[in-house]
Structure 1
Amino acid sequence: MLKRLARIIVEYRGAFSLVALFLLVLSVYGIQMLEFESDLTKQLPQDLPAVKDYLTLQNEFQSGDSVLIIVKVTSIEEGGVYDIRDPEVIRAIYELEERLREHEYVTDTMSIADIFVQILGRLPENEEEVRFVLNTLPPEALQGLMSSDYRTTLVIATLTSSSGSQAVQRIYEDIKRDISEVSFPKNVEVIQTGSIGIAYRILAMIKSDLNRTMTIAFILVAFLLIYFYKSVFRAMLPLIPLVFGVTMTLGFMGLLGIPMDMVTTVVGAMIVGMGIDYGVHITNRYFEERKRGRPIEEAAEEAVAETGKALLGAALTTIAGFSALALSILPALRRLSFVLIMGLSLAAINAVVITPSLIMLYEDILKKIKGKHEIPEIRAHSGFIAKSFNTLGRLIKRHPKTTLFVVSLVTLVFLYGLTQVTTEVRLEKMIPEGIPEIEAMKDVRYEFGGQDEVDLVVRADDVRDPNVVRAIYRFEQEILADSYYNNVFEANSIADVVVRKYGYIPQDKEKINEAIKEGGAPVNDDYSMTLIQLKGNFGGVRPDEFRAIMRYFEEQAKNADFPPGVEVKPAGESYLNYVLGNLIDQELNKISTYGSILVVLVVIVLFRRPLVSIAMILPMFLGALWTVGYMGLAGIPFNQTLAGVISMIVGLGVDYGMHLTHRFLEELEEGNPYPIISALEGVGPGILVGALTTAGGFLALLSGELSAIHDFGKTLAIGIFASMFAAFTVTPALLQLFYGKKIRGEEK
């Protein structure tokens, strides 16, 4: 069947090429429609209780994001101000607040300038008035707005709920423009941070990382192909179909409305890295057949037919591994699964259809120039590389058990690494050190105790009930008493509003209602819900501390001493990060298990030989194990992007063992007395080129700015090399042990 299909592809290569060109033009249009997304809720299932509580928080209380603006004296140059109590600084801050309040999405602002207006009825005119006002206030009143050395202060803008990349970009740029239009004195630096600032920076990095990593991936792959094929033009033969495949993938994402997010940003470089493997194996087999003296059309048919068998199996197992991502409850991983399957399918189809057409066109052009067809000489099938695979084949043929023993020792090292793996999903941890928004958040945490927020939603028949308000007050005091453990420095609720008005909590519900109306307490319209707002440093701690703090809030809410019928639940973005982290831990096991099962089933169905299946499958498991062990040893945590990495390595890792096993069986059936050596000599160079180009595509991700993208690139590159090493050692050793007695002949 494949022979017949190969003949059709070769005969009608022109028609197939025209169809590919049409799809390419359509895809270029689709790329213009690509959208970018950084909304955390879009990474979680919408029916999850934590997501519902978060949306309730936004809808019922108009609780949205916040913008934190750091105003900092950064130098002591002459002619400038020396601390933020200078009246010029306070006037500039007040002007900035006025500009911020003009935006319809800003619900409130707060700064030290408001304190002066409240006490003096105006802004201070000199330093004496500034000091007078500050001296009348208790220290704790300024703790959250002014640093102890008077060099840093904070402007907080509360926003209505907003979502989508366009809203984030608009808000960030509006506020950035407001900051630039206010004349702050010399020596003062103003930096925008908070949830909007970090989300904007992530969006900007996603966009730049997509373009940069794809470009570098293509350059790395091109240089490697030029080296192995000894020609720029021959290197283009597998590269051009890959360009078609990547362009079509991104174009169809735009046409289908699939956004680029923290997870799908890696798709471009991944398709470059993985897709090149298909074109390389077709091209290598073609050149191998030409070296044997076959004419160009026969060589192309043989390359498509014979390599097509292994490519079909490799594509199916890779797709099986990626299909496991579709079983995840996380929407981002389901999107990634669909995009990778679509991208690899397009890359494989383009490789099988376009590559033979380009090769024959290339040879026909050379014939017109030189007057005859020349047998191409490529580095992969000659010189040091060819000798190395011959030596490796002879070594494994003689000592298969020793080879497996060495592999076992390597595995023990990585088994220890498995015990060191952690999970980290907080968005700000995805941004590298030195970015202004992250450095500003460090200042917020160091100088002001942090501005991270966790909200506890309190549901009752009527939250104005005196018994409910007293329970809220007791709950707050218990939380604040544990501040050394939970990092909470401030708590706000309706209980605080009532106590500030009366000095106690009255038994009269009407009095409580009056205090709530005057104090602007967080209560919904029908008084069935209210909030307990906790502020502190939750985002700047280690992953294990973050999880411990969020678990503490869960336990406190669950065991809180409230009247019967009252429900208390944690909510907010920090808590959503914690929920996402727990889900990723659960999904890792599920995705990895299902991915492995699907790949094993595909291998068994395709080959129907238990021993052959073991020889192909074991390297993929070792590759995945070594990769995760490396993550533990290198301190790389699992995150949104890396949640499906085991399934990916399993899907990719089996390909190398499959190519080797398929060639071994082909040589064995043809009566070759040295099938192990011939298999390594024949497909080993192709696997090496494919692995290097694939890893090169993944290593291109190191050029990205996002830390999560760096980790993803390093991890997958290690996974590729681990799978290749396992395939070059374990698969031949097992095949030699399983089939050694059937092989006859003398050593080469």
Structure 2
Amino acid sequence: MVRDREDSAADSDVDGDAGMDPDTDRHSSVESESSTNGGERGRVNYQAVIDLVDEWITERPRAVILTFFLLTAVFSVGLGNISTEAGTEQFTKESPSQEALEEVNQEFSPAFETTNGTTQLIQQGTNVLSKGELLAILEVQQRLQDRENLRVVSTSSAAAIVAQTIDPNATTVGAQIDAIEGASRSEVEDAVQRAAQSDGFRGIVSDDFNREAASASATIGVVEHEIPGGVSTTAGQGGTSPLTPIQTTAQSVVGSVDSDITVFGSGIIAAENGSVITDSMLIITPAAVLLIFAFLIYSYRDPLDLLLGVIALGMAIVWTFGFLGIAGIPFSQLLIAVPPLLLAVGIDFGIHAINRYREERVEGKDVGSSMRIATDQLLVAFFIVTGTTVMGFSSNGVSDLPPIRDFGFVAAIGIVFTFLIFGIFLPAAKVFLDELSIRRGLPRFGEQPLGSEGSALSRVLPVGLVIARKAPYVFLIAVLLFTAGSSYYATGVDTSFNTEDFLPPEDVPDYLESLPEPFAPNEYTVTKTTNFLEENFASAEDDTVTIYAQGSLTADYALESIHHANRDPPDSFIASNRRADAQSILMVIDDYAAQSPEFRRLVERNDVDDDGVPDDNLEEIYDELLSSPYRSQTLEYITEDYTSTQIVYSVKSSASQDAITTDVHSMADRYRLSATGTGNTVVFQEIADTILASAIQSLAVALLATTVFLLLIYHMLEGRASLGLVNLVPIVVSVALLAGSMRLFDIPFNALTATILAIALGLGIDYSVHVVHRFTDEYELTDDVFAALERTVLGTGGALTGSMLTTASGIGVLVLALFPVLGQFGVLIALTVVYSYITALVVTPSVIVVWESAIA
């Protein structure tokens, strides 16, 4: 039985719900009919729950408001407990190659022991090997040693080498200063030329070193500090470092010397990583607030409604981050994206709630009745949106990367909080405010809903309806082909994971530097210094990988296995005479054999095939090494129980990360021992591969879970599971468009954008849910698909427009973030919102027309 609005009103009059306008409760009457006459379609009578919430919202708004304010106070306590976590280390914690790297660092203690940490002193100038510059860096070394809180164990520099070349007895920094001061300019130049014969000296001066002129534009000094408990050996850069207070203090010491000297190390990197998070938030938040505020003014057009919306958004942020502190989840770079996402959903919910309420108010209904009708419809829509969005975010839980899992969990919790605040608190606050305004005679503005008949927007919104009337099948075929093409094109999207993604920018844009305090970002040196080292020191460009081999090193084949593996190495390995450039226990054996005739004879006696590599009595050979002056070098490559060894290979700096990793694994397969490839390059490539897998898995899980959820929810609520598929079509189109746009704009899957496809599904479906659910309500009343669509696109379409403009601009400000990956994420989220809006209003009407034709 199809009923119009007058029939619905009559039923409401019979029910006589207290405090309600009997001429307007059309949703309840339709639900009443569905519970009696529509049961054969499997519809669940959820109205009792909705009525209970309605009663609290409309009859007890003060109690609702007080309850939510008290909960906000509780969650605000957690804000003070939030810790931060930055850098790449957070992504490598559960990586197999990282675990192998940590075992290497733990077992080969002489070279990799972490009881001490180091600070680099990077000196630049016209000629840092001049007498004055040599004295300057020695003065810095002396001042750092004199500061007890810096725990300086030793210092070294090119200046120290030159000083000891002049006076071999100058073993202290003070004596080295005296040696340089007492030498003439020509004596200093002669000492530099003699020092250049040392590999140690050449390794710490820049590539432009001129021996004849005794000049160089840069040099590196090293200060070693005693660090109780040691420092981390994890691949990449961590978010905290025990060297941070030491190196920040060293900066102030260095600043007092008249020379261009930069302090660099893991402590500086950690400090700037933490600072860049704060600076990004200080820039993004006000910009987002300004843009969001501007569009909210357009959407609400009433100062009191605007105030309610802003308060609700603030509560959602406080609840979410208060929960973060209470749960002890550290705030990482990825979580910077959570506030904009909550704002996106919150803005959407707020605009829909106010706009839907206004649609009823302009028809003359009272406050309580209007809000009951609005919440009857919107609580269901909000529930569907929340369910699908939570599934989209939660699908990141299948990721092997802990930060991505934390991001998905925190975002999902935040969306649930947003649902509660905008689904219950905001309507209750609106009822309280409007009733107060009526009693006090306060003026109100902008009471007309967005997209109302006769407005400029109302002439644009029905474009999808026009297409649906004229050629829905042809249009959907075209959409299908375009979606397939975009999906295929998206298979070429790159995947990356680099330290640079998490470092502050080398140059802060001028428009950000001109910002007033406290919004102006700090000066960042890490990226600039890193690039300087790579460009001016050949050793900084060198890259190495490690094979970690385990097994009995006393077996006859153990050393031969290493020797044979090094023949004809893969293309990315540096080689000479068709042998890999490797540092291993074989190198130590050769070096000691060259120094000790007795040891050389021992090796030769046990070299069965006369290839220079011993085959027999390996335990005796190792014992000799450990009792020799080469003990420390030996323990760099084998453990004392002779069960593990590391082989360090040099690889080409021009080779790609993927090629190096593939070749390392290929090299490990050559070993007869149990061998694993590791090193920073290998760890980072493993994370990059995991990122791509996470993106695909999360999307698959989100798509499957969302499909099942929508089929079930529409079966339960409307008795038509097929509406779930109608709901899904527009968002699948928008996800395909988004993936294609990633390749078009050269945005790779990285640590943050790996989450984007699942988020696009969860966040974007918001738009199609509102359209489909509003259509089902209108279709119940008219049984005319086009009439229902017209009322839907004009009513809900107006709210969607306000939501899209506010969300896209508010999230788009992430491009101002000081992290490159965060800017890319902001662009993608803005595209997600725009694509979802367009497909919801343009594609959905044609899908609905085809659906209605199929079930007719």
What is the TM-score of this pair, normalised by structure 2?
0.77
Measure, in 2, the Cα distance between the counterparts of 1:275 and 1:620.
19
1:181 aligns with 2:253: yes
- Which residue of 221, 224, 230 maps to 1:155? 221
- Which residue of 729, 732, 737 maps to 2:850? 737
- Which residue of 203, 211, 219 maps to 1:144? 203
Tell me the residue number matched to 1:606: 713
Asked which structure has the greater CA Rg, the reply is 2
RMSD: 3.6
Q: What does the per-residue CA deviation read over 1:521-554, in whole Å, with 9 as the maximum and x for residues that have no partner?
A: 525554543444456776xx6xx81121222222
- Work out whether residues 430 and 706 of structure 1, in 8 Å CA contact, stay in contact via their aligned partners in 2: yes
Moved more, 598-607 or 699-708: 699-708
Tell me the residue number matched to 2:815: 702
- Work out whether residues 497 and 515 of structure 1, in 8 Å CA contact, stay in contact via their aligned partners in 2: no
Distance 1:263 1:391, change over 3 A: closer
Distance 1:184 1:113, change over 3 A: farther
Tell me the residue number matched to 2:749: 638
Residue identity matched to 1:420: G
Where 1:145 maps in the other structure, the secondary structure is coil
Tell me the residue number matched to 1:445: 534
User: What is the correspondence of 1:11-160 to structure 2 with a 5 Å cutoff?
Assistant: 11-38=59-86, 40-44=88-92, 46=94, 48-60=95-107, 61=109, 62-63=112-113, 69=120, 71-74=122-125, 86-92=133-139, 94-95=141-142, 98=145, 103=150, 111-113=157-159, 115-116=161-162, 119=165, 120-122=168-170, 123=176, 124-125=179-180, 126=183, 127=185, 128-129=187-188, 131-135=190-194, 137-138=196-197, 141-149=200-208, 150-156=216-222, 160=230
Measure, in 2, the Cα distance between the counterparts of 1:502 and 1:679.
87
Where 1:32 maps in the other structure, the secondary structure is helix
Where 2:676 maps in the other structure, the secondary structure is strand
Residue identity matched to 1:414: S
Distance 1:101 1:423, change over 3 A: farther
Measure, in 1, the Cα distance between the counterparts of 2:581 and 2:302.
67
Distance 1:457 1:96, change over 3 A: farther
Measure, in 2, the Cα distance between the counterparts of 1:500 and 1:592.
55
- Work out whether residues 651 and 660 of structure 2, in 8 Å CA contact, stay in contact via their aligned partners in 1: no
Measure, in 1, the Cα distance between the counterparts of 2:761 and 2:96.
32
- Which residue of 692, 715, 720 maps to 1:585? 692
Tell me the residue number matched to 2:701: 594
Tell me the residue number matched to 1:746: none
- Work out whether residues 248 and 268 of structure 2, in 8 Å CA contact, stay in contact via their aligned partners in 1: no
Moved more, 226-235 or 587-596: 226-235
Tell me the residue number matched to 1:456: 546
Residue identity matched to 1:31: L
Residue identity matched to 1:274: V
Measure, in 2, the Cα distance between the counterparts of 1:196 and 1:578.
25
Tell me the residue number matched to 2:490: 418
Where 2:747 maps in the other structure, the secondary structure is coil
Measure, in 2, the Cα distance between the counterparts of 1:187 and 1:311.
62
Distance 1:144 1:95, change over 3 A: same
State the Cα distance separating 1:418 from its structure 2 match: 0.7
Distance 1:319 1:461, change over 3 A: closer
State the Cα distance separating 1:336 from its structure 2 match: 1.5
Tell me the residue number matched to 2:322: 251
Distance 1:576 1:203, change over 3 A: farther
- Which residue of 262, 285, 292 maps to 2:333? 262
1:516 aligns with 2:516: no
State the Cα distance separating 1:605 from its structure 2 match: 0.3
Where 1:570 maps in the other structure, the secondary structure is strand
State the Cα distance separating 1:26 from its structure 2 match: 1.8
Where 1:670 maps in the other structure, the secondary structure is helix
Where 2:461 maps in the other structure, the secondary structure is helix
Tell me the residue number matched to 1:430: 502
- Work out whether residues 81 and 185 of structure 1, in 8 Å CA contact, stay in contact via their aligned partners in 2: no
- Work out whether residues 290 and 375 of structure 1, in 8 Å CA contact, stay in contact via their aligned partners in 2: no
Moved more, 582-591 or 733-742: 733-742
Measure, in 1, the Cα distance between the counterparts of 2:379 and 2:797.
17
% identity of equivalent residues: 19
Distance 1:494 1:100, change over 3 A: farther
Tell me the residue number matched to 2:666: 555
State the Cα distance separating 1:173 from its structure 2 match: 3.6
Measure, in 2, the Cα distance between the counterparts of 1:109 and 1:342.
51
Q: What does the per-residue CA deviation read over 1:273-331, in whole Å, with 9 as the maximum and x for residues that have no partner?
A: 22222222111111111112110111111111111111111111111222211222322
Residue identity matched to 2:317: V
Q: What does the per-residue CA deviation read over 1:542-587, in whole Å, with 9 as the maximum and x for residues that have no partner?
A: xx81121222222222224xxx5x3332334333212111111222
Measure, in 2, the Cα distance between the counterparts of 1:455 and 1:741.
61
Distance 1:103 1:481, change over 3 A: farther
- Work out whether residues 70 and 152 of structure 1, in 8 Å CA contact, stay in contact via their aligned partners in 2: no
Tell me the residue number matched to 1:342: 413
Where 1:424 maps in the other structure, the secondary structure is coil
Measure, in 1, the Cα distance between the counterparts of 2:349 and 2:233.
40
Where 1:389 maps in the other structure, the secondary structure is coil
State the Cα distance separating 1:594 from its structure 2 match: 1.0
Tell me the residue number matched to 2:836: 723
Measure, in 2, the Cα distance between the counterparts of 1:280 and 1:629.
30
Tell me the residue number matched to 1:3: 51
State the Cα distance separating 1:466 from its structure 2 match: 10
Measure, in 2, the Cα distance between the counterparts of 1:606 and 1:242.
27
Moved more, 448-457 or 302-311: 448-457
- Work out whether residues 550 and 675 of structure 2, in 8 Å CA contact, stay in contact via their aligned partners in 1: no
The runs of 5 or more residues in structure 1 that have no matched partner are: 744-748
Measure, in 2, the Cα distance between the counterparts of 1:110 and 1:536.
28
Aligned length: 727
Measure, in 2, the Cα distance between the counterparts of 1:245 and 1:162.
36
- Work out whether residues 711 and 722 of structure 2, in 8 Å CA contact, stay in contact via their aligned partners in 1: no
Measure, in 1, the Cα distance between the counterparts of 2:218 and 2:580.
18
Measure, in 2, the Cα distance between the counterparts of 1:445 and 1:489.
23
Tell me the residue number matched to 1:230: 301
- Which residue of 540, 549, 569 maps to 2:676? 569
Distance 1:293 1:521, change over 3 A: same
Moved more, 84-93 or 508-517: 84-93
Measure, in 1, the Cα distance between the counterparts of 2:443 and 2:220.
77
State the Cα distance separating 1:680 from its structure 2 match: 0.5
Measure, in 1, the Cα distance between the counterparts of 2:652 and 2:370.
66
- Work out whether residues 464 and 512 of structure 1, in 8 Å CA contact, stay in contact via their aligned partners in 2: no
What is the TM-score of this pair, normalised by structure 1?
0.87
Measure, in 1, the Cα distance between the counterparts of 2:820 and 2:526.
15
Where 2:753 maps in the other structure, the secondary structure is coil
Measure, in 1, the Cα distance between the counterparts of 2:843 and 2:734.
11
State the Cα distance separating 1:636 from its structure 2 match: 0.7
State the Cα distance separating 1:8 from its structure 2 match: 2.8
Distance 1:183 1:589, change over 3 A: closer
- Work out whether residues 390 and 681 of structure 1, in 8 Å CA contact, stay in contact via their aligned partners in 2: yes
Distance 1:477 1:517, change over 3 A: farther
User: What is the correspondence of 1:254-293 to structure 2 with a 5 Å cutoff?
Assistant: 254-293=325-364
State the Cα distance separating 1:183 from its structure 2 match: 6.4
- Work out whether residues 393 and 677 of structure 1, in 8 Å CA contact, stay in contact via their aligned partners in 2: yes
Distance 1:524 1:694, change over 3 A: farther
Distance 1:377 1:3, change over 3 A: same
- Work out whether residues 36 and 259 of structure 1, in 8 Å CA contact, stay in contact via their aligned partners in 2: yes
State the Cα distance separating 1:656 from its structure 2 match: 1.4
Distance 1:231 1:108, change over 3 A: farther
